[in-house]
Structure 1
Amino acid sequence: MVPAIASNEASPTMSRDTTSPAPEPEALSPLRLRLIMALVTGALFMEILDASIIITALPRMARDFGTSAVGLNIGVTAYILTLGILIPASGWVAERFGARRIFAIAIGLFTLASALCGQASSLTEFVALRVFQGAAGAMMVPVGQVIVLTCTPRDKLMVAMSNLIWPALIAPVVGPPLGGFITEHLGWNWIFYLNVPLGLIGLVGAWILVPRTARPDEPRRFDWPGFAITALGTFGLLAGLELLGATGNLAALALVALGLALLVLALRHMARAPNPMVGLDNLAIPTFRATIRGGSLARAGVAASPFLVPLLLQVGLGYSPSEAGLILIALFAGNLAMKSVTTPVLRTFGYRRVLIGSSLTSFAGIAGGALLAPGTPVTLICAFLFFSGMTRSMHFTTLGTMAFSDIPKPQMSDATSLFNTSIQLMMASGIALSALAVKLGDTLGTGAPDVPYRLAFLPLSVLCLATLVEALRLPRDAGDSFVGRKSQA
């Protein structure tokens, strides 16, 4: 969707009025910076966790609401859709009303919505509250990232970005087993009540720790046409993919096509509008462009692993939910094990070579799931999941830090809005595509319960190779200064 506007030279139509340069951010003490980082990272973890933690609680919640677990899945979809639709507007909202104010309000509203979700007594009430919660989350995370990126000195941005990535790696893995444990021992309501004390701490911390940021003297107008086209395109793509995985009919396919067409139209509008909702100037930067184009497709494939693996273990290989949860810890352990060495690896080999290698290992870390047949020793399954977790961590960290390696600080708001929108779209698409891949695997399979899930890993793994294509196009010294690596002759 991006190539038509992602040229190496910024188009004059893409630039917007920047006559008032952004003032230098207030210099903060190292302790205050660490506390802000912990605050934003916690908010990010809370937002991502709430998308997956209720999955294992759906049967119990459905019984209380008098509906089916499949019918209640709309609560998950409504949350993800709301995030995808509203995240693009977060940059403008923060610029117009102030990042600290919006971040604090978003945390407060997310906390309130969580408490109300725990009190919901019907499906309609619950879905409405999940939309409310998603709207708050859509402002909370991107604005929090803007705060970190603008307050952190450039020589510390690599570490800051690396820390912001771990919630996206860990939350989808720990969410389902944690939700199951809380539901079994405390009740599903406590999945939401858990956010209340954390949110209150975050609200106070945001107001005390986050510095005020200067707002422009003449704020740009809100891009209503761009917002409307983007919102409709996001809805069409995500809703269509979900229906395609559930029904596989032509109407769902048509909805996906319509969503993609509208998103292309939205990109064209933003490339031409004098004050677009999200500026596309950053797509002229090779490192950012590579993470949006190839990186977005790769994230769709990588996001499928935490969804497919538990289903394969339980439905295909016959493990109980608790056993599957314990085995899944190996994936989590691989994520953590790789986390401590990603920065040294990037400094030693550089972004281009690491991205080439991580694309290939991520491909292997997903495609290998097709080999997990009945009778595979549990130690071998855990070893594979540990390797898969390491590849996910390396790939995500490389993409997430490289995205902002060459972005000027005045353009961070637009960059985070576009980056988070692409992440939300493609990670949600990855889950929907994995359901569709299972459906296709069932058609091609032999009737054995494990075959559809094993076959589903294969097409999803190919998506990881999209970053390989982009990596080969990057300059050899791409992002070297950002990671503190001396350019190699």
Structure 2
Amino acid sequence: MIDQTTRRLLPWLVAIGFFMQTLDSTILNTALPAMARGLNESPLRMQSVVVAYMLTVALLIPASGWLADRFGTRKVFMSAIVLFSLGSLLCALSSSLTQLVASRVVQGMGGALLLPVGRLAVLKVFPKEQLLRVLSFVTIPGLIGPLVGPTLGGWLVEVATWHWVFLINIPVGVVGCFVTSRYMPELLGGETRFDWVGFALFGTGMVLVSVSLQGMGEHALPLATSLVLLFAGLAAMAGYWLHAARSALPLFSLRLFHIHTYAIGVLGNLFARLGSGAIPFLTPLFLQIGLGFPPTQAGMFMIPTVLGAMVSKTLVEPLIRRQGYRRVLVGNTLLLGMMIASFALVDRETPHWMLLLQLAVFGVINSLQFTAMNTLTLGDLEPDTASSGNSLLSVVMQLSMSLGVAAAAALLAGFSDHGIAPQPERLLSAFQDTYICVGVLSMLAACIFMQLRPGDGDHARAPVVSVEEG
């Protein structure tokens, strides 16, 4: 029996976990140049710090529900907070890029479980008529984290050191552990079989393909090694596809791709997020290294993007109702790509008010894209496919954003002679060329959304729980 105190404090606890995750993902980007200086690395080669976390989250999301059902929500949520806090401490103690990347993997193991397990506890504790209100409250930190994260990260590296970008998670984690031990209910699920074979094949394929593409793009691995990893990853993905076709309970059912809107939505997410996922990594670097902004100012310039995203929430529903998903997604995808490419017009002479306006407009268009893609993708799922479909979409989102960061970093390194002390004007030009390429890459997703039929998604059922718009 769940008491009233637990019902009152559980949403706050889950919100704390979500806040830790979203704050960490945004506070880090502004601090990357300072971290690079502290580790004697080029700031153009720090993307592995971001990619390692995203890939780890993508890898472990599918197992989060099974772990919570098997070991209990309190144990798993507590373990998530401890891992996240321990990873944060290890990041702060790192003295090399290799150590920092390994520590980010530990941090990602905790981050992968925080929101899914917390959200599962909310679903089990609260009746359906209260879910919308409670889940809306839980996702508020998802807006606060990106709002304060970039500026806080810039301020911390100016008044202290980059280590505090990670150390700031420790007190939040201590509070989270205390509240979890007292107010997180220990909820167990039924005895369900987990597809460990599928999990191993899918995870191996995803990691190997990502590492191989990153290695080829950055010339960090010999070409032969990258090709071997690529083909091994593709073989693992093919193995998963064959396994899922004959398994009674696969990790992700292939039946999901028989749903027209889901198949288009997932593929569209994969390619559209390559561009938009690269911007939170690319823009703070551009502002500091390309335009010479101090870290705090660079962080503050990211605020209009978040404010624009908030404004878009009032626009998306009436726009889709009038124009339909096909027109909105095709048109907005092209507009998003052009908006990303427009940052190539920014230089040191650009007025600050114009750059702020550009970032705000990008925030509106980018958030509209996320909301439209997610509601299209999940809207036609039936109750028996909703959980698997939601989990796969979360994985695709994380994977696509990590590939977008890796692609942007590879382009930036290539245009700047692989980061070997380029001249300031050459470096500015490298950022501008990268924005153009990333924008064009994003526009290609419009080809996928063109496959929607008029009226697709119009009668979609609203999903009980939608993925967060990371």
TM-score, normalised with respect to structure 1: 0.76
Aligned position for 1:430: 404
Aligned position for 2:204: 232
Deviation at 1:393, TM superposition (A): 1.4
Deviation at 1:100, TM superposition (A): 4.3
In structure 2, what is the Cα distance between the partners aligned to 1:154 and 1:164? 15
Identity %: 36
Amino acid at match of 1:273: S
**Partner SS for 1:449:** helix
Q: Does 1:97 align with 2:103?
A: no
Change over 3 Å in CA distance of 1:92–1:201 after alignment to 2: same
Alignment of 1:9-24 (within 5 A): none
The answer to whether the Cα contact below 8 Å between 2:2 and 2:185 also exists between their aligned partners in 1 is: no
Aligned position for 1:390: 364
Aligned position for 1:369: 343
**Aligned mate of 1:290, from 250, 264, 267:** 264
In structure 2, what is the Cα distance between the partners aligned to 1:91 and 1:185? 41
Deviation at 1:387, TM superposition (A): 0.7
**Aligned mate of 2:389, from 404, 415, 421:** 415
Q: Does 1:331 align with 2:305?
A: yes
The answer to whether the Cα contact below 8 Å between 1:37 and 1:148 also exists between their aligned partners in 2 is: yes
In structure 2, what is the Cα distance between the partners aligned to 1:261 and 1:204? 45
In structure 2, what is the Cα distance between the partners aligned to 1:82 and 1:90? 12
Change over 3 Å in CA distance of 1:79–1:481 after alignment to 2: closer
Change over 3 Å in CA distance of 1:384–1:52 after alignment to 2: closer
**Aligned mate of 2:56, from 82, 98, 109:** 82
Count of residue correspondences: 453
Deviation at 1:152, TM superposition (A): 6.1
**Partner SS for 1:187:** coil
CA RMSD, 1 decimal: 4.0
TM-score, normalised with respect to structure 2: 0.79
In structure 1, what is the Cα distance between the partners aligned to 2:91 and 2:449? 42
**Partner SS for 1:277:** coil
Alignment of 1:351-370 (within 5 A): 354-370=328-344
The answer to whether the Cα contact below 8 Å between 2:262 and 2:377 also exists between their aligned partners in 1 is: yes
Change over 3 Å in CA distance of 1:354–1:428 after alignment to 2: same
Aligned position for 1:18: none
Alignment of 1:10-89 (within 5 A): 36-58=10-32, 61=35, 74-89=48-63
Amino acid at match of 1:477: D
Amino acid at match of 2:428: P
Deviation at 1:299, TM superposition (A): 1.7
Point out the more displaced range, 256-265 or 266-275: 256-265
The answer to whether the Cα contact below 8 Å between 1:158 and 1:482 also exists between their aligned partners in 2 is: no
Q: Does 1:107 align with 2:81?
A: yes
Change over 3 Å in CA distance of 1:34–1:239 after alignment to 2: farther
1:244-277 deviation per Cα after TM superposition (whole angstroms, max 9, x unaligned): 3322874436644543443343233223222323
**Partner SS for 2:458:** coil
Alignment of 1:59-458 (within 5 A): 61=35, 74-120=48-94, 126-148=100-122, 175-206=149-180, 210-216=184-190, 218-220=191-193, 222-247=194-219, 250-251=223-224, 252=226, 255-256=229-230, 258-343=232-317, 345=319, 354-409=328-383, 411-439=385-413, 449-450=428-429, 451-458=432-439
Aligned position for 2:440: 459
1:228-252 deviation per Cα after TM superposition (whole angstroms, max 9, x unaligned): 2222212212222322332287443
Deviation at 1:461, TM superposition (A): 2.7
1:445-489 deviation per Cα after TM superposition (whole angstroms, max 9, x unaligned): x95733423433432332442562354476252426669xxxxxx
In structure 1, what is the Cα distance between the partners aligned to 2:23 and 2:99? 21
In structure 2, what is the Cα distance between the partners aligned to 1:476 and 1:380? 36
**Partner SS for 2:428:** coil
The answer to whether the Cα contact below 8 Å between 2:87 and 2:105 also exists between their aligned partners in 1 is: no
Unpaired runs of at least 5, structure 1? 1-25, 484-489
**Partner SS for 2:250:** coil
Aligned position for 2:458: 477
Point out the more displaced range, 231-240 or 255-264: 255-264
The answer to whether the Cα contact below 8 Å between 1:292 and 1:422 also exists between their aligned partners in 2 is: yes
**Partner SS for 2:349:** coil
Amino acid at match of 2:211: A
Deviation at 1:381, TM superposition (A): 1.9
The answer to whether the Cα contact below 8 Å between 1:438 and 1:455 also exists between their aligned partners in 2 is: no
Deviation at 1:179, TM superposition (A): 2.1
Deviation at 1:431, TM superposition (A): 0.7
**Partner SS for 2:248:** coil
In structure 2, what is the Cα distance between the partners aligned to 1:358 and 1:35? 39
Unpaired runs of at least 5, structure 2? 418-424, 465-470
In structure 1, what is the Cα distance between the partners aligned to 2:264 and 2:354? 34
The answer to whether the Cα contact below 8 Å between 2:47 and 2:409 also exists between their aligned partners in 1 is: no
The answer to whether the Cα contact below 8 Å between 2:32 and 2:285 also exists between their aligned partners in 1 is: no
Deviation at 1:135, TM superposition (A): 1.5
Change over 3 Å in CA distance of 1:61–1:382 after alignment to 2: closer
Deviation at 1:49, TM superposition (A): 3.6
Deviation at 1:411, TM superposition (A): 4.7
The answer to whether the Cα contact below 8 Å between 1:298 and 1:467 also exists between their aligned partners in 2 is: no
Deviation at 1:61, TM superposition (A): 4.9
The answer to whether the Cα contact below 8 Å between 1:302 and 1:392 also exists between their aligned partners in 2 is: yes
The answer to whether the Cα contact below 8 Å between 2:195 and 2:251 also exists between their aligned partners in 1 is: yes
Point out the more displaced range, 164-173 or 240-249: 164-173
